[in-house]
Amino acid sequence: MEKRYILALDQGTTSSRSILFDNEGNAVAVSQQEFKQYYPRPGWVEHDPYEIWNTQLATARAVLKKCGAMPEEIAGIGITNQRETAVLWEKKSGAPVHPAIVWQCRRTANLCEQLRAEGLEEEIRKRTGLLLDAYFSGTKIRWMLDNVSGLRKRAENGEILFGTIDSWLLYQLTGIHATDYTNASRTLLFNIHTLEWDEILLNALKIPREILPEIHPSSKVYGTTEVLGKSIPVSALIGDQQSALFGQTAFNEGECKNTYGTGCFLLMNTGQEAPPSKHGLLTTIAWGLDGKVTYALEGSVFVGGAVVQWLRDELKLIQSSAESEEIAMSVPDTGGVYLVPAFVGLGAPYWDMHARGVITGITRGTSRAHIVRSALESIAYQSADVVFTMEQDANTKITQLRVDGGASANNFLLQHQANVLGKPVIRGSTLETTALGAAYLAGLATRFWDNQDELRKRWRVSRIFEPQWNEDQRQAALEGWRKAIQKTCEKDIRK
């Protein structure tokens, strides 16, 4: 039977999605399931690995049923995933030995401080392109090995496997223990220059080599799975933000994108060079393809769209995410209110693990609409901080910003983003760019698509948001934001 589709498994922080793409890159059908977030202590975040697998498998089956597609019509499966979330499981049974520790989790902040005191920070930055922060997988692995009874001995005996979520799903699908360059580059354990697990860092973090997966290019037939009823190749693994960069067809050096998901992640393609950041950004691997590795600069905002979930689930200020736009636009401004959603610390460019959220400028006249509007605006302000920092690091001006992700459907947010940046913000016709990137890579590995030029021709603009503020308005708004950020930070951000 003719191959008509690529299936993308898009495993995110709050939901699992499966999307079926046709040869034109159109999303033919989508299925999504949210799953539970566990907060055992303040600042701690966990997932149930089985819940991740079960929701991902259920959506994969549902998406085929939704459009009447047959398994034999699928040319390949691409997996994209929340990246730094760490899972440890038994090699023999495949059963997790502890809940997955999520990228947002702050439980290893003190361990990071200890490693910093030992002088490890600069070594980590040089070898991995990352900062020493609880965000990444390495300290999460160390925590589980140190805190789950008998686990370290079992790991050293080769009984335990580690993986980020791509590895966990691949193991469930195929029984193969592997990952790709992009996910490996987020662990604190992978040398992005030699493209190998780094023995010095493994020793420093006391992590046994035996638990780590094999590392491969992002676009490759890893193995086959029969969970959908027929043998289908799993032909791409890639971290979600790198996948979105690929899905935006940002194949040239200097091209960049921002994804508005649970967090916000801005990446710039830096080609074959891996430039070190002087201003708190990360150097990471964008993808491995055709025998080459492409690098990127990245800035991470920990709480983006998650602030809208917080308004809905915890404060009950809105009933749905879509409602936030209408409520925000019911007032002309925030009335001087700024919300800084540092619920799990601050990411780039501040990297303050101990920062916590604040709302400033509240008066007797502050209403629900002001709070909702300030929450949406906070997403744009945090992203702008990363854009301005990236321009400094890359020593170039970003002329436009391509955007994607669920929250990029919010017109108010994107208009505010353009105003704050003073640059056009371009939304593509496909918001599901993260899934599309994984699909593209899976399709290249299985010859469903021939090359990147073919993919570039498929990218289309949906809407361009032009800035509407003058420079004085822009600077005044940014100054208010910086004052609000300062209230969350222990260090002086003006330095």
Residue pLDDT, tens place only, 347-399: 888 888 789 999 999 999 999 999 999 999 999 999 999 999 998 888 888 88
Return the sign of the alpha-carbon dihedral for residues 235, 238, 240, 246.
negative
Rounded to whole angstroms, how far apart are CA atoms 164 and 213?
9
Q: What is the mean pLDDT of the chain?
A: 93
Q: Residue 84 has what pLDDT?
A: 95
Rounded to whole angstroms, how far apart are CA atoms 341 and 307?
7
Domain boundaries, the chain: 5-239
At which residue do the structure tokens 């202590």 appear? 41
Q: What is the largest CA-CA distance in the chain?
A: 67
Q: Residue 494 has what pLDDT?
A: 56
Q: Residue 222 has what pLDDT?
A: 97
Confidence of residue 493 (pLDDT cuts 50, 70, 90): low
Q: If 0-12 CB within 10 Å is exposed, 13-18 middle and 19+ buried, where does residue 129 land?
A: buried
Residue 492 has pLDDT above 90, yes or no: no
Confidence of residue 466 (pLDDT cuts 50, 70, 90): very high
What is the mean pLDDT of the segment spanning 462-467?
A: 96
What is the mean pLDDT of the segment spanning 279-293?
A: 93
Quote the DSSP letter at residue 309: H
For residues 352-367, b (16+ Cβ closer than 10 Å) or e, as one string?
bbebebebbbeeeebe
What is the mean pLDDT of the segment spanning 120-147?
A: 94
Comparing 58-72, 171-185, 276-290, 479-493, the range with the smallest average pLDDT is: 479-493
Which tens digits make up the pLDDT trace of 86-119? Answer: 999 999 999 999 999 999 899 999 999 999 999 9
Q: Residue 326 has what pLDDT?
A: 94
In angstroms, the Cα distances linking 322 to 214, 309, 319, 369 are 41, 11, 9, 14
Residue 77: what are its φ and ψ, rounded to 5°? -120, 130
By percentage, how much of the chain surpasses pLDDT 90? 82
Domain 5-239 in this protein, CATH class:
alpha beta
Rounded to whole angstroms, how far apart are CA atoms 379 and 155?
40
Question: pTM, whole model, 2 decimals?
Answer: 0.86
- Structure token pair of residue 47: 């997932």
Residue 411 has pLDDT above 70, yes or no: yes
Which tens digits make up the pLDDT trace of 323-337? Answer: 999 999 999 999 999
Closest CA to 327 of 318, 336, 337, 339: 318
